[in-house]
Structure 1
Amino acid sequence: MHLTEAWFTQLPLTGIEQILPVSGGDINAAFRIVTRHHQYFLKVQPHNNVTFFDHEVAGLQLLGAVIKTPTVIASGTIATDGYLLLDWLTTGTGSQSALGKAVATVHQQHQTHFGLDHDFTAGKLPKLNHWQSDWATFYTQQRLDVLVNLAKEHHLWSQTRDEHYHRLRQQLLQDPHMHTVQPSLLHGDLWSGNYLFDTAGTPFLIDPDVFYGDREMDLAMTTLFGGFDADFYQGYQAIYPFAPGMQARLPSYQLYYLLAHLNLFGEPYGAAVDRILMQY
């Protein structure tokens, strides 16, 4: 994405000295902005107004009440592009145990219902967050069904997948655990690219997709793509011990994230989806 110098002059900043593209994202354009006295991280969503970032800002506020998150400086729309301006974080190294304790503290923030006070439908994967009193209903209807239907639209579904999925779905609806879950604040996309440590070794969570749900969803994501070691889980359990039987439930939560990748990146993720579905 190419942004003109005139575009950058409309940011609520003065004395911009450098604008450096930052790699790593496939949803937004990203830049490091250096001014005379400070550095900032800028996300730009081309051809989408500022409302695209409202969900992320709300998530940073919820998480930031209990742990470290990037500071929101400003958000807005310039021309046809929404932007989010954050404080720049200089990264360092830190303890996985401290990260585990931070995530456990997030999960100890509880609600009376599952979901959130707003949906997020501006992205490629819609998040339907209207409140539910029953976790089994929320997870099957507002998470799994949404991605299965999207996979059907993308011609990434089959009769065999559908048969196994409906067996899994029925089992989830009948599982006693699903009806006793306490709603926890979730990061929502807890992979290794969404945490970092500052130069003091303090863990930060970034790029949230928050809602209130079963904390095992976040934990399932940590087991999929690496980046979390034994110290993370030991630190977590020192604050908030796992519920009995969690290991057996993780595949049904891993499925959600694998369905997301199937919809975003196609059939290369089909085999991983099938490995879970064939257990049912």
Structure 2
Amino acid sequence: MQLSKEWLAQLPLTNITSVTPVSGGDINAAFAVQTAHHRYFLKVQPQRGAAFFSHEVAGLALLEPVVATPHVIANGTIDGDGYLLLSWLEAGHGSQRALGQAVARVHQQHASQFGLDHDFTLGKIPKLNHWQHSWATFYTQQRLDVLVKLAQDQGHWSAQRAAHYQRLRKHILAEDHMRTVQPSLLHGDLWSGNYLFTADGTPTLIDPDVFYGDREMDLAMTTIFGGFSDDFYAGYQQVYPIAPGFEERLPEYQLYYLLAHLNLFGETYGPAVDRILNRY
């Protein structure tokens, strides 16, 4: 994506000296914007308007009081394109133990119900966040069922998967742990690409997809693609110990993220989904 001088002139910045494309994932166009005195990180979503980034802005506002995050400079629409302007973070190296402690402090932020005060349905994976008193109801109806329906619509489902899923679903709804969960603030997409250490070593969370849920769901995501060491979990345990039985419950939460990848990337993730479903 090319940004014209006329487009850039509508940003709330002065004296822009350079704009350089940078890696920003597969969802947004991303740029480093240099002015005479500062550097900024700019995300652009072509022809999607400011609403596309409103969920991320809300998530950063919830995370910022308890963990380092990028600062939101501006969010708006330019010529139909949504944009989010953030502070630039110089990356460095830091402690996995400190990262685990930081995530634990996020999870110590609680709500009275599960969910969030708004849905996010502009992305490829819809997030239905309306409040629920029951975590089992929220997780099955507003997370797993949504992805199963999407997989059916995209031809990634089968009678065998459906049968195993229904058994898993009944297991989740009857599970004792589900009745003891306290709603925790979750990052929502806690893989290794969504944290960094700043130049001074501060653990920092980026690209949140927040809601209030079982903190084990965030931790499950950390186990799927790597990037979190034993020190991370030790640091987490120091601040907010995990309830017994986590290892047994882990596949129930890994399934959500694997179903998301099945829908996004196809049958490459089918065997991993089946390994979990076939346990039930």
Same fold, judged at TM 0.5 (above):
yes
Question: Which residue of the partner structure matches residue 229 of structure 1?
Answer: 229
* Residue 253 (1) aligns with residue 246 (2): no
Deviation at 1:80, TM superposition (A): 1.3
Structure-to-structure mapping, 1:187-198, within 5 angstroms = 187-198=187-198
Deviation at 1:3, TM superposition (A): 2.1
Question: Which residue of the partner structure matches residue 243 of structure 1?
Answer: 243
- Partner-residue secondary structure (3-state), 2:83: strand
Question: Which residue of the partner structure matches residue 100 of structure 1?
Answer: 100
Distance in 1 separating the partners of 2:147 and 2:200: 40
Moved >6 Å (runs of 4+): none
Question: Which residue of the partner structure matches residue 264 of structure 1?
Answer: 264
Q: How many residues align?
A: 280
Query: If the length of structure 2 is used for normalisation, what is the TM-score?
Result: 0.99
CA RMSD of aligned residues (A): 0.6
Question: Which residue of the partner structure matches residue 212 of structure 2?
Answer: 212
Deviation at 1:4, TM superposition (A): 1.6
Question: Which residue of the partner structure matches residue 144 of structure 1?
Answer: 144
Structure-to-structure mapping, 1:37-76, within 5 angstroms = 37-76=37-76
Distance in 1 separating the partners of 2:112 and 2:5: 48
Distance in 2 separating the partners of 1:67 and 1:88: 16
Question: Which residue of the partner structure matches residue 10 of structure 1?
Answer: 10
Distance in 2 separating the partners of 1:100 and 1:178: 24
Q: In structure 2, what residue type is equivalent to 1:223?
A: T
Structure-to-structure mapping, 1:80-99, within 5 angstroms = 80-99=80-99
Q: In structure 1, what residue type is equivalent to 2:233?
A: Y
Distance in 2 separating the partners of 1:54 and 1:228: 29
Question: Which residue of the partner structure matches residue 163 of structure 1?
Answer: 163
Q: In structure 1, what residue type is equivalent to 2:190?
A: L
Deviation at 1:180, TM superposition (A): 1.0
Distance in 2 separating the partners of 1:133 and 1:58: 22
Distance in 1 separating the partners of 2:277 and 2:160: 9
Question: Which residue of the partner structure matches residue 118 of structure 1?
Answer: 118
Any stretches of 5+ residues in structure 2 without a counterpart? none
Deviation at 1:2, TM superposition (A): 2.1
Distance in 2 separating the partners of 1:243 and 1:199: 34
Distance in 2 separating the partners of 1:10 and 1:264: 34
Question: Which residue of the partner structure matches residue 201 of structure 2?
Answer: 201
Question: Which residue of the partner structure matches residue 134 of structure 1?
Answer: 134
User: Structure 1 vs Structure 2: percent identity of aligned residues?
Assistant: 71
Distance in 2 separating the partners of 1:218 and 1:62: 16
Any stretches of 5+ residues in structure 1 without a counterpart? none
Distance in 1 separating the partners of 2:17 and 2:47: 26
Deviation at 1:24, TM superposition (A): 3.9
- Partner-residue secondary structure (3-state), 1:32: strand
Q: In structure 2, what residue type is equivalent to 1:173?
A: L
